[in-house]
Amino acid sequence: MKVLIGMSGGVDSSVGAILLKEQGYDIIGVTMNLLPIESEDNLAIMDAKNICDKLSIPHYTIDFTKEFNNCVINNFKDEYKNCRTPNPCIECNKHLKFNAMYKKALEFNADYIATGHYAKIEYSDKYKRYILRKASNINKDQSYVLYNIPKELLSHVLFPLSNFNSKEEIRSIARKYDLSISNKPDSEDICFIPDGNYKKYLEENSDIKSKEGNIIYKGDIIGKHTGLYKYTIGQRKGLGISHQTPLYVIGFNKDKNELIVGDEKDLYVKSFKVKDYNLLLIDEIKEPLKVLVKTRYKSKESEATISMDKNFINVCFSTPQKGVTPGQSAVFYIDDIVLGGGIIV
Q: Set out the domains of the chain in order of their start, with CATH numbers.
A: 2-116+160-176 (3.40.50.620), 210-266 (2.30.30.280), 268-344 (2.40.30.10)
Mean pLDDT rounded to a whole number for the chain:
95
Whether this prediction's pTM lies above 0.85 is answered by yes
> Edge-to-edge strand order for the sheet containing 2-6?
59-63, 26-33, 2-6, 112-114, 157-158
323 backbone φψ class: left, alpha, beta (φ>0; ψ -120 to 50): left
Q: Taking 90 as the threshold, does the pLDDT of residue 325 lie above it?
A: yes
Q: State the pairing for strand pair 2-6/26-33.
A: parallel
How far apart CA 108 and CA 4 sit, in angstroms, is 8
By annotation, the residues acting in catalysis are 92, 191
How far apart CA 231 and CA 240 sit, in angstroms, is 12
Query: Residue 41: pLDDT band by 50, 70, 90 thresholds?
Result: low
| In the chain, % of residues over pLDDT 90 | 90
How far apart CA 243 and CA 57 sit, in angstroms, is 61
68 Cβ contact list (under 8 Å, min separation 6): 32, 34, 35, 92, 96
Cα-based distances in Å from 29 to 14, 113, 164, 182: 9, 10, 22, 18
* Neighbour-count burial for 65-93, b at 16+ CB within 10 Å, e otherwise: eebbeebbbebbbebbeebbbbbbbbbbb
How far apart CA 302 and CA 133 sit, in angstroms, is 17
Q: What is the pLDDT, as a whole number, of residue 189? A: 80
Query: What are the tens digits of pLDDT across the range 254-276?
Result: 999 999 999 999 999 999 999 99
Q: What is the pLDDT, as a whole number, of residue 38? A: 66
Q: Taking 90 as the threshold, does the pLDDT of residue 187 lie above it?
A: no
Contact status, residue 257 vs residue 213, Cβ threshold 8 Å:
yes
> Which stretch, 138-142, 187-191, 312-316, has highest mean pLDDT?
312-316
Indicate the range of 21-25, 184-188, 236-240, 302-306 predicted with least confidence.
184-188
